[in-house]
Amino acid sequence: MTFYDDIYPFYPSQRTSFIFSGRLLTIILVFLVLTVSLLLILPGIRGRTRLFWMFRIITSLFIGVVLVVLNYTNSWAEARMTTNATYKSFSNAVINAEVGLHVGLYGINVTLRGTPMVQFNETINYNEMFSWHDTIEEEYKEALERGLPNPILYIAEKFTLSSPCGLIFQYRYSGRFASATLWTAFCCWVLANILFSMPVILYAGYMMMATAAFIFFSMVSFSTIMNVPRCVFSIGTDSFVTEFSHSFWLALATGVLCAIIGILVVAFNFLMPEKIKAAFSIGVDGCEDEDDFYGEGFLNSVFLDGAMISSPTSKIPTELF
């Protein structure tokens, strides 16, 4: 870089500091290993029960991984647009780029991608993460020192404590309560899986319904940000506002799935309790096992004849003759 292309040389080259969360990758790998480990026992299960157990394992682990992943995704709300904007401070360079804002429960992710990607002999492809849990002011200061593009700094500034929009207070508290209710839903999911392996199927269904209820509570908590006057982001000649995104609708789908499972389990427990217990392999009675085991036997006639001869005092009733 030189002074002649309107970009100052003390700006470091761009860095994509946030591409994919390592925490999300760890969570997904842990659940994948757990899924493969549980599926390895399927060959030891006979008959149609094998398909039921496979469906049960996959569905249960899907719900569990969604409940954990939703806490760390940055797509609860998002907005994007393509506009012309100044590239960096103290520069007259104007770029055409796609600007994106992705909001999660713990922070925001701001993207900037040039169209075309290479402009002014640079590859314009930024992906920056800002967390608002007591560190966003420091991260914003570091972004200023690094000389990030103006669109990224403008969006990040809207979420600082000094911003008149007050976005930090709206999103931080709504995200905090949404995260707390999601972790409560995860605890209910764990209890439901424990109860499914015990002869208390009814209470397992109740816990699945409780899981769905807490997922819906988290959605209600996050959606409160839409009930207040929303701040408009104006970059260049265009503007945008955030809308619900993939994680929000995934939470809705998972909550509906948990509610359906809970309602079906409770209904079947009242309508056909023996069949639902047999489906979960807990409906086998101990007395029935003993009857099946002792239902067929053989008598030792030699032993019986010897026993009758060894007791000469025993009298035989005359009525038998």
Q: Domain locations in the chain? A: 77-166
Computed from CA positions of residues 113, 117, 121, 125, in that sequence, does the dihedral angle turn out positive or negative? positive
| CA pair distance 77, 242, nearest whole angstrom | 6
| CA pair distance 203, 193, nearest whole angstrom | 11
> Strand 94-103 and strand 107-119: pairing?
antiparallel
Could you list the pLDDT tens digit for every one of the 321 residues in the chain?
Answer: 444 444 444 444 444 445 556 677 777 788 788 778 777 776 766 666 677 778 888 888 899 999 999 998 888 999 888 888 888 877 788 888 899 999 988 888 899 988 888 888 888 888 888 887 767 888 888 888 888 888 898 888 888 887 777 788 888 888 889 999 999 999 999 999 998 888 788 898 999 999 999 999 999 999 888 877 777 888 877 888 888 889 999 999 999 999 999 999 999 888 887 877 776 765 444 444 444 444 455 555 655 565 555 555 544 444 443
Q: What pTM does this model have?
A: 0.75
One DSSP character per residue, 164-206 reads: TT-HHHHHHHHHHHHHHHHHHHHHHHHHHHHHHTTT-HHHHHH
Instruction: Give the SS3 label for residue 12.
Output: coil
